[in-house]
Amino acid sequence: MESLTLVDPCTEQPFAEVPAATAADVDAAVAAAAEAGATWSRVPVAERAQVLRRAADELARRERELVEAVTMPLGLPRHLVPAVQLASALGTLRSTADAAERMTVEEVVGNSYVRREPAGVVAAIAPWNYPLMQSVNKVAPALAAGCPVLLKPSELTPLDAFLLAEALAAAGLPEGVLRVLPGTGPEAGRALAGHPGVDVVSFTGSTEVGRQVAALAAASVSRALLELGGKSASILLDDADVPAAVAHCARTVIVNSGQTCTALTRLLVPRSRLSEAEECAAAALSAARPGHRDDQAADLGPVISARQRDRVNGHIVAGAAAGAVAVTGGPGAPQGLDRGFYVRPTVFTRVDPQMAIAQQEIFGPVLVIIPYDGDDDAVRIADGTPYGLSGAVWSGDVERALEVARRLRTGQVSVNGGPFNPVAPFGGYKQSGIGREKGLYGIEEFTELKAIQMPLSEEIS
């Protein structure tokens, strides 16, 4: 049997082997899931919701094991794992349970009963950056909707998926309704995305792979839900509280070493306030301390892999060559961290909106500052990438900020630091994706609508 070798990003050393699922394993798993799903689809929604809640409690009890399962392949400092990685995953299990209980399963429309029914077998393909949360974002709503799930975690971070499956089993999920299939993208991922027995493919990852997944799913006219990359902008209007706005933006770039799809990696600043913003950003990112997972004072760990480190450094080198000015950071390893996939938190300023560092997702702790002239110019630059995942607007006048927020072509916008809302719809415009996760919106993506027409002579209610 083939296996996946997991590498510790803090030491560059292999630390575990996990069996890798093959295309034949996927075939067998799809058939078994269809069978298990037939029973699960008939379990009342309220009972399905209870399973999710009990699973969250079980995961909370196993926090220490979960922290290890997440930090070993990801490298995030241990002390940050509960807040950065686990809280949102457990919260999503619970908020999805609450949302499921609000779902209208059947309603009367004219002479029809309109029903929301489980869409069928779900293939959930997850990335490595927030491994548990990304799995939960798919598994929880699909189970709440009544679907069986085949979960393929990233080959780089498969460990926590097993703990999630164990917690759900302990919470009463019948055997076979969730199956974890660790494996590579080209083998297990492709087999799942293109399998004719899969009804919904829920994918989170890069835009490039998302395109391939959508094409594979299209062959059997299966639904493809895609949560893809981002290059989100934080717009500081000319009356914004610059220190507060820059600190907020900088935090999103530091957390999880910048490996966050919604990170606000472009800071759009009115030319008149550029030097103030540069100073604040340089201070915030130069104060961020990279370190080993055992380092209690570390603000960020390494990036996930040698490939990712080289990619981030490549962007930093190319940014400088294109004429952008680094006000802190630069290529190479941070001082004293020669072993491990560490990169230096970096701020570029005087960045042209068309430069590669302003257009492409870097997925590392790199912030670019782009000067603009007037609100219309800011909106044009913010919308001027192929992505549309997240964003932020800051102003002393909340109504003015809201007006700009309404104009942006992006799935989420924070006004003056408004926090993430776990029951609001989450997803992308343009090449950031198709479909929405979270809350009731996320559950409905895993349902099919059926209309049962009744004779007009029949009174229905």
Contact 97, 53 (CB under 8 A): yes
- Residue 364, φ and ψ in degrees, nearest 5: -155, 175
- Using the contact rule CB under 6 A, the part of the chain among 40-48, 49-57, 72-80, 189-197 near ligand NAD is 189-197
- Using the contact rule CB under 6 A, the part of the chain among 26-34, 165-173, 228-236, 439-447 near ligand NAD is 228-236
Burial of 322 (0-12, 13-18, 19+ CB in 10 A): middle
Q: Contact between 189 and ligand NAD (CB under 6 A)?
A: yes
Q: How far is CA 406 from the centre of its chain?
A: 23
Say which residues have a Cβ less than 8 Å from residue 450's Cβ, sequence separation at least 6: 114, 115, 117
Q: With respect to ligand NAD, which residue has the nearer C-beta, 328 or 390?
A: 390
Q: x/- string (CB under 6 A) for ligand NAD, residues 132-171?
A: --x-----------------x-xx----------------
Say which residues have a Cβ less than 8 Å from residue 414's Cβ, sequence separation at least 6: 248, 390, 391, 392, 393, 420
Q: Name the residue with the smallest CB distance to ligand NAD.
A: 185
Q: Contact between 227 and ligand NAD (CB under 6 A)?
A: yes
Whole-number Å distance between alpha carbons of 241 and 435 = 34
DSSP per-residue codes, 312-335: HHHHHHHHHHTT-EEEE--SSPPT
How far apart are CB 433 and ligand NAD at their closest, in Å?
A: 6
Q: Contact between 185 and ligand NAD (CB under 6 A)?
A: yes
- 368's enclosing H/E stretch is strand 366-372
Residue with tokens 């072509």: 409
Q: x/- string (CB under 6 A) for ligand NAD, residues 337-366?
A: ------------------------x-x---
Among 389, 404, 408, 440, binds ligand NAD (CB under 6 A): 389
Among 123, 255, 261, 298, binds ligand NAD (CB under 6 A): 261
Choosing from 10, 261, 437, 445, the catalytic residue is: 261
| Known catalytic membership, residue 227 | yes
Please name which of 334, 256, 260 lies closest in space to residue 74, comparing C-alpha atoms: 256
Among 37, 73, 120, 205, binds ligand NAD (CB under 6 A): 205
Residue with tokens 């297990």: 188
Q: With respect to ligand NAD, which residue has the nearer C-beta, 160 or 278?
A: 160
Contact 212, 125 (CB under 8 A): no
Q: x/- string (CB under 6 A) for ligand NAD, residues 118-137?
A: -------xxxxx----x---
Partnered with residue 185 across adjacent β-strands are none
Buried b (16+ CB within 10 A) or exposed e, 266-292: bbbbbeebbeebbebbbbbbeebebbb
How far apart are CB 134 and ligand NAD at their closest, in Å?
A: 6
Chain residues binding ligand NAD by CB under 6 A are: 125-129, 134, 152, 154-155, 184-186, 189-190, 193, 204-206, 209, 212-213, 227-230, 261, 361, 363, 389, 428, 433
Active site residues: 227, 261
